[in-house]
Structure 1
C-alpha cells in the first residue's frame, strides 16, 4: 500500500442540542467548516472526493449537499457514510484505503451532525413498526425498536461488569477537568474554528466535581434496570450468549445482579454524554500529493480496523475494536503513546482502565466526549484531530483512536507522528 498522510483538518465548536447551533441545518454547519478548511488548505479544491459521516440527518446524500453549499468544485464527488457514531472514523478509513490503493491522492473525510435539527420520520403504514407519531431513532438491533437502545446498552454494560456509580462518575469528573485545562492552555486552538458566532464547546462544565456528579439525575428507574437485568439473565440461562467473542475483560465481568439483589441504576446525566451538534473534517494525502503541492504533514495513518460486538452491549465495541487493531498490527498496548477513545459513556473509560490499568495517563489526556460532547457523525474526525495535536504536543510516536457505534460496531485507526 501507498503511504497515507494526515495533512490537517478543522472542527467546529461542539454545541448542545438546542444550543448555539439550534437553527443551523446539518449541511449548513458542515459547509461553514468546509469553507474554513478550504481557506487553510487550498489543496482541498483539488480533492478527488469528499467522504463524510452523518447519522441523524435528513437522509439522501447530504454530504453532496454540504459540498455544494461550501463551494467545492462541482466535479468533486461526495459520498455519505452511515455507521452511526463510528461514521466519521469509517469515512476516514475508507479515504485512507482509497489513497493507499492508489485510487486517489487527496481526499477530504470526516462528518457532521445536528441533533437540534434531527427530523422525525414515519414508517410506511404497512410496516408493523408504524406509529402515527413516527420515530427519531432508527432500529439498530433485531430484538428492539427502543428509542433508548444505546442508553439501555450502556446501562446493561455497567451492570454486567459490576461498576459502581462512584467509579463511573469519577471518569466524568476527570474528563471535564482535563477538557477545561486543555481549553485554558489553548491546546486545540489550531484545529477548532468559530462558525456562526460560536465561542466555545458548550458541554464542558468548569465546576464538575464528584459532589455535582452525584446530584445528576439517573437515566433509568430501578424497575427499568431490573427488567434489563432479568431479560439478560433469562437469555444467558437459556443458552444465549451475552458476552462478545473476545470480550473486553468479559471473563472478569461481575455479571448481572441476581433476582434477589437490589438493583441500582448507574447511568446518569453526568456519566453519559449529552447530545450535540458539530462538524469536523480532515484532509488525507498521498506521497505523490506531498511532492506535487510541496506539503509537510506531521502525521501518517498506518492502519484501520472494524469490528462487531453484541449490540446490547455496544460500549464494548470501542474496547474490542481498539484491541483488535493492536493485535492485527502486532503491537502491545504499551507501545501506544496516546489513546483517544470516544467516551460516549463513562463505562467505556472504566472498561479501558480495567484492561489497561497502567496506561490511564495516556487515555484521552485532554478529556473526551463526556466533556466535549458527541456529535455522532462527526466524532471520529474530532478524535483524529485531537489525537494529532496530542501526539505533536506530547512528542508521542504512536496514537490509537477507537469509537463504538450503534448496532454493536466499532472503528479504530492507528496513526504515527511522522516527525519522529
Structure 2
C-alpha cells in the first residue's frame, strides 16, 4: 500500500451568498483554484480529479470544471455528493485510490455556489410532488432521510441536538464570538494569505465580523421561537467558494524529489442519526482516532467544521483540555460554509494550524446532512 502525501492545497476566498461571486459559476472559480494549484505544484497533468458539490446544477460538475480549467480531456473527473462532507469524501477517496495503486497523483477538493443554487422540481408522478411547501413540486434542499422533507432540516437537527444536550444560547454565542475574533486575528496577521487564490482580483474572506459583540448577538431573533437556542449568529451563514489539494504517492514523491506538506495517516466515514447530524463531526473523529490508536491530547491541531456552534460545545464538554488547538484560527461560524468545498477548506486550515504549532499530527472532521461524517488525520512533514 502506497503512502499518500499532501503536496499542495489552495482555496478561493470564501464569500457570502449573493455577494461578489453571485454571477460566477462554481466550475469557473473552481477552475481558477485548480490552475493555480497545478502551477505552484509544477504539475502538467494528473491521474484524476475528484470534486465535491452539494447544491449545484447536477451532472458531473467536476468534469466541467476540469475542462474549463483547460486540463487535458484525457484526465478523468468525478463529482462527489456527500453534502457538507463532499470535499472531505473526495479527498478520502483520492487517497484510497493512490494507496491501492490507482494512479499516483490526484487532485481532490470541492466547489460550491450557494448563490446559483437552482430551484428543482419533482416529477408530477413522484409522491413528493404535492408535499413541497408550494405543493407544486419545487424544492431547493434535497431529502436527506425518509419521512423528512423539511427545507430547514439541518437547522432543526442542530436545535434538536442542543435541546437533547441542554446546551444554552449563552454557550452557543460564546463560540460564535470566539470564532469571529480568532478569524479576525488570523485575517489581520495574514495567516491564510498564501493559500487564497484571487478570483476576479478579490482575496478577502468577507464573512468575518471583527466588531461582533454579545450585544449584537442578543438582538438576533431565535429561529424557532421562545425556548430555543439557534439564531443567525450561532449558525453559519451561506457562502460560495472552492478548495482543492494535490495528493501523491510516496513513489511519485521520491521519484520527483518533491517536499510534501503532510502525510495522510488515516481517513474515516461514519453514519449516525440523521435527526441530529451535528453529532457527526466528533463521532467520526472519535472513530478515526481510536482506529489510529491516538487521543485528542496527542494532536497538535484539530479542525471541526462548525456549521453550528453546538458542534463546538459538544467538543468543549468532552475535551476541555484540548481547546488551545481546536479551530485555532476560527471556524465556519466566521469564515462560512460553502457546503461542497468545506472539507478541503478544513484541510487547508489544518495545515496552517499544524504549521503554527510547529508540526505534529492533526485531524479534520465534518458532519454532513443525513447523519454522515468524514474525518482525515495528517502528520506534518519536517
Both structures adopt the same fold (TM-score exceeding 0.5)? yes
SS at match of 1:33: helix
Compute the displacement of 1:197 (Å): 2.5
Residue in 2 that maps onto 1:79: 78
Residue in 2 that maps onto 1:136: 140
TM-score (norm 1): 0.88
**Unmatched 5+ stretches in structure 2:** 130-134
In structure 1, what is the Cα distance between the partners aligned to 2:357 and 2:299? 12
Compute the displacement of 1:133 (Å): 5.5
SS at match of 1:84: coil
Contact 2:161 2:276 in 1 (8 A): yes
Contact 2:271 2:371 in 1 (8 A): yes
In structure 2, what is the Cα distance between the partners aligned to 1:411 and 1:133? 31
SS at match of 2:110: strand
Compute the displacement of 1:283 (Å): 0.2
Residue in 2 that maps onto 1:29: 29
Contact 2:2 2:251 in 1 (8 A): no
Residue in 2 that maps onto 1:377: 340
**Unmatched 5+ stretches in structure 1:** 223-263
Residue in 1 that maps onto 2:364: 401
In structure 1, what is the Cα distance between the partners aligned to 2:196 and 2:235? 24
Q: Equivalent residues in 2 for 1:294-333 (5 A)?
A: 294-333=257-296
RMSD in angstroms over aligned alpha carbons? 1.0
Residue in 2 that maps onto 1:225: none
TM-score (norm 2): 0.97
Larger Rg: 1
In structure 1, what is the Cα distance between the partners aligned to 2:255 and 2:199? 31
In structure 1, what is the Cα distance between the partners aligned to 2:87 and 2:149? 24
Q: Equivalent residues in 2 for 1:106-255 (5 A)?
A: 106-130=105-129, 131-132=135-136, 134-222=138-226
Count of residues in correspondence between the two structures: 377
Residue in 2 that maps onto 1:58: 57
In structure 1, what is the Cα distance between the partners aligned to 2:183 and 2:304? 14
Compute the displacement of 1:291 (Å): 2.5
- Deviation per CA, 1:254-299, whole angstroms, max 9, x where unpaired? xxxxxxxxxx110011100001100000000111211232211121
Residue in 2 that maps onto 1:336: 299
SS at match of 1:170: helix
In structure 1, what is the Cα distance between the partners aligned to 2:250 and 2:295? 28
In structure 1, what is the Cα distance between the partners aligned to 2:35 and 2:301? 30
In structure 2, what is the Cα distance between the partners aligned to 1:40 and 1:180? 27
In structure 2, what is the Cα distance between the partners aligned to 1:332 and 1:200? 35
- Deviation per CA, 1:42-94, whole angstroms, max 9, x where unpaired? 22x32100001000000010100000000111110001000000000000000
